[in-house]
Amino acid sequence: MPERGIELSDIVAQLVADARRQEGLSMDELADRAGVHRTYIGLLERRSRQPTLAVAANLAEALGLSLSELVERAEQDVANGVVGDIDLPSAPLGRHADHEQLGDGAQLADIGQLTPGMIGRAIDLTYRRLDLIDGQMRESGSPSIARLVELTQLSPLVANLLSASVARASNGLYVQHGSDHAPKLLPLRQGLPELEVVSALETNRPASGASTDGVYLTFRYVLANRDGTFTRGKDARGDTVAVWEVRFGELEDTDFHVAGGIARLRKDALDDMELVYYDPELLPYARPTGVYARVR
């Protein structure tokens, strides 16, 4: 590698290390967010390994930065002959899915070749994106996305973010469909199915634009407070999206009830789907029943 390239890579590595410390992240936590091995982070910070473009992009995103921001800052430091700290955008630290609440994901792995860990990471990535956007909006005097967007439009937005995050966390198994379409994940390997991604607020059942056979990932979320606490009830809604349930399964047309041009998943069909993730602290029902009572 040319000398300037090595110098630039070294500065990128130091900026990543500085940003990691500012975030209060361990090497393990950053590695998990970026989808790399913990050992790689250590080698990178000791300048024993040069980051590839793909890894640099993953690390930047894991720290709430864009690759262009990271490289631009590194180029400035190379030009000035100095290496300084990097200023991170204001965002809540450490908001993650509770990975202890992930299921075994047998169907998820068998049909979609995804793991519960990938789903957990996808939720983490979505939280990071939402928190960065919300933080920047609040700094400019605007309300958060959950306050700014009508609730009827919030679920499609959340589904799109989650779809992109699942694609990002899938290690090259899936890519998100174009933004002009309903959230969908297209397989990049032969034999994998297309995945429909849908979401719904609280106890609502996810809806699709049209009833159709397919393989579905369903996410249900609540509006919690910024500190992570949640109080059930419409009057107590906060302004921070928090996923409380993820399910996976193959569905047929008969699993949907169509009304007003909207195909909404039937309750029994939703209950029969594999439970991939469930956070009892965010349960929007009055009390645990059925599967929720059994997994507590």
Domains of the chain: 3-80 (1.10.260.40), 99-295 (3.40.600.10)
Q: What secondary structure does DSSP assign to 107-137, as a single string?
A: HHHHHH---HHHHHHHHHHHHHHHHHHHHHH
Q: What confidence score (pLDDT) does residue 79 get?
A: 58
The pTM for the full model equals: 0.72
Cβ neighbour number for residue 74 with a 10 Å cutoff? 23
What are the backbone dihedrals phi and psi of residue 241, each rounded to the nearest 5 degrees, phi first? -70, 130
Strands 184-187, 174-176: parallel, antiparallel or unpaired by DSSP?
antiparallel
By the 10 Å C-beta count (0-12 exposed, 13-18 middle, 19+ buried), 180 is classed as: exposed
Cβ neighbour number for residue 187 with a 10 Å cutoff? 16
Locus of tokens 């590695």: 31
Closest of 78, 79, 95 to residue 131, by C-alpha: 95
Q: What confidence score (pLDDT) does residue 53 get?
A: 75
Spell out, as residue ranges, where the chain has pLDDT lower than 50. Answer: 1-2, 4, 81-93, 180
How many whole angstroms separate alpha carbon 225 and alpha carbon 124? 17
Q: What confidence score (pLDDT) does residue 73 get?
A: 67
How many whole angstroms separate alpha carbon 160 and alpha carbon 183? 5
Helix 3-23, helix 53-62: angle, nearest 10: 20
Contact 202, 222 (CB under 8 A): yes
Q: What confidence score (pLDDT) does residue 89 get?
A: 44
How many whole angstroms separate alpha carbon 118 and alpha carbon 32? 10
Give residue-wise pLDDT tens across range 90-146.
Answer: 434 457 899 999 999 999 999 999 999 999 989 988 998 888 788 878 878 888 889
Q: What confidence score (pLDDT) does residue 284 get?
A: 95
